[in-house]
Amino acid sequence: MIPPRRSFAASLLLGGLPLLLGRAASAQTRPTPVSARQPAPPLPRPPLTLADIRAQLEIARAALPPGHRNRVAVERTLGRLDEMGLDLASGRTILVNIAAAEVMAYEDGIEVLRSRAVVGAARTRTPQMTTFVTTARFNPPWYVPASLTAEIRAAGAVGYQQIGGRFIQPPGPNNALGPMRIGLENSDGIFLHGTNRPSLFNQGMRSLSHGCVRVERVRDFTAWLLDMPVATVDTMLASGRTQDVHPLREVQVALAYLTIWPDRTGQFVVHPDRYGMDAPGVRQVGFRRVLRPLPMTTEQMEAAARQPPPEDDPL
């Protein structure tokens, strides 16, 4: 339940509170909540819906005085939510919060999954966009982008095949995409995938990739979007076969830079502005909107599944 406007505004300005907008995260993961420093554990409460989150941020914007250290984060986050132009309160949505290096899945506006992620570094940023899931690719090969060819060659290209001057890394435990790649509609080579370096998820600062989003719980997200048990996902992965599976229900995807957002417990966290997008005078970067693809018939999905996997578009 959203607290009354007056009590929430007062607690916000006084710094006390169950939903703290005054707390800043020094890293992108595991910030210490105020409640964790109190003797008694916080009382459980129902998860915030996306409508709740927006309402809390609207209250914060009205309550915070000009010049408050968190006002810009609140205003910019609300602006980016508006600019996304998606109905996040219905259907299935994957939200990548670039600033938090986290990925969340929502069913009708209610969070059902959350995972740590690795996102683009400041020099190779993950772009803001809205799009849709196309397929989940099991045991994907990695078609090395031209921009990384020199780096792979300098490292010796061990474990890579070279076809027509292009390096391809076969599926397997050393593959940079990990066990799974979630494709996105018309995304210019940006997609969600696993990794062969899971230790990166334990780092506080996870803005490390060349633009794609590495998802720690990629198997759970795949099971959710394909409506299948995780055990079935594991069985398909164990086969070693590269295969694409289309979700039967539409899943919209938003990649957004939200510098203030609730954590797993529902407490709002101010995340570091690693891309400098909240700095005064910085021109705001808009969203690239991908149009909804035409729905596929069952016959079309079956025919697509029989086709060999196409190459990934390079970054």
pLDDT digits (tens, 9 = 90+) for 39-50: 455 544 566 788
- Give CA–CA dist 230/244, Å, rounded: 16
Please indicate whether residue 68 is annotated as part of the active site. no
Write down the domain spans for the chain: 5-140+177-306
Tens of pLDDT, residues 11-57 = 444 443 334 444 555 445 444 443 444 445 554 456 678 889 999 99
Among this protein's residues, is 212 annotated catalytic?
yes
Whether this model's pTM surpasses 0.75:
yes
CATH class of the 5-140+177-306 domain in this structure: mainly beta
Confidence of residue 305 (pLDDT cuts 50, 70, 90): low
Which among 193, 210, 246, 271 is annotated as catalytic? 193
* Token couple for 179: 């066990």
Instruction: Identify whether the C-beta of residue 269 lies closer than 8 Å to the C-beta of residue 48.
Output: no
Range with lowest mean pLDDT among 71-80, 191-200, 237-246, 279-288: 279-288
- The rounded distance, in Å, linking the Cα atoms of 145 and 151 is 10
Q: Is the dihedral of CA 272, 274, 257, 179 positive or negative?
A: negative
Within 8 A by CB and 6+ apart from 140, the residues are: 171, 175, 177, 180, 181, 193, 242, 309, 312
